[in-house]
Amino acid sequence: MQQLQIFESCHFIADIQIISQCQLYKNWLLNISSASSARFPLYEKLPNLIDSTWSNVEYRCRKCRKILFNDKHIIKHKTLTSHNVTGNEETEIIDCGFGHFITPMDWMSLNEHRGKISCSCNEKLGHYDWGGRVCKGMSGRPCGTAVRPWIYVNQSKVDRSMKIDQNVSSPINNIIIRPQKFPCI
């Protein structure tokens, strides 16, 4: 069923270029992967930032300011919350906000079954586990979603910044501020 949803989100076009950019497809690949298959056929060519010019949000190491990943590399998962309102049970499906789960990147050393994710400046950013873990959620909202593989970067270790495209003309770039002319007295 998920494969049909992926096909629909790609506007019913079975083109490898389009499908490989689809976020639903990336999530599906990560969900079906296991510890053995995740390290080999699915991730022979890991994404890097040079191929990622299509993103506007960058995440940098808080210590050395190196760009680590962008918003297109973040994998989101849903959590089901239950609220007891006036005796009726209401459920709501929302995005879980627990840290950054990302796709494996070429700068990461992910050779073991589980371990730490560190920046090139040796700052510990998070951890990974190819077998996956159960997300605990945040802010009093338990999640309980099984995330596999678990490739987690702590939000407090990275800074989020907007990438400015120099080729795009915006109204702000076109504003010219000139000094006001005062009459000579």
Domain-by-domain residue ranges, the chain? 48-162
What is the spatial distance between Cα 68 and Cα 106, in angstroms, rounded to a whole number?
A: 10
pLDDT at 32: 65
Residue whose tokens read 């190491």: 61
Contact 132, 30 (CB under 8 A): no
What pTM was estimated for this model as a whole? Answer: 0.59
Phi, psi (deg, nearest 5) at residue 155: -60, -30
Topology of the domain comprising 48-162 = 2.170.150
What is the spatial distance between Cα 182 and Cα 167, in angstroms, rounded to a whole number?
A: 36
Residues 6+ apart with CB under 8 A from 97: 138, 139
Contact 42, 33 (CB under 8 A): yes
pLDDT bracket for residue 45 (50, 70, 90): very low
End-to-end Cα distance, the chain: 80
Mean of the per-residue pLDDT values for the chain?
74
pLDDT tens figures, 102-121? 989 889 988 888 999 999 99
Helices (H) and strands (E) in the chain, counts: 4, 11
Per mean pLDDT, which range of 63-67, 87-91, 146-150 is the poorest? 87-91
From residue 17, give the alpha-carbon distance in Å to each of 10, 22, 47.
Answer: 10, 9, 14
Phi, psi (deg, nearest 5) at residue 63: -85, -50
| Percent above pLDDT 90 for the chain | 21
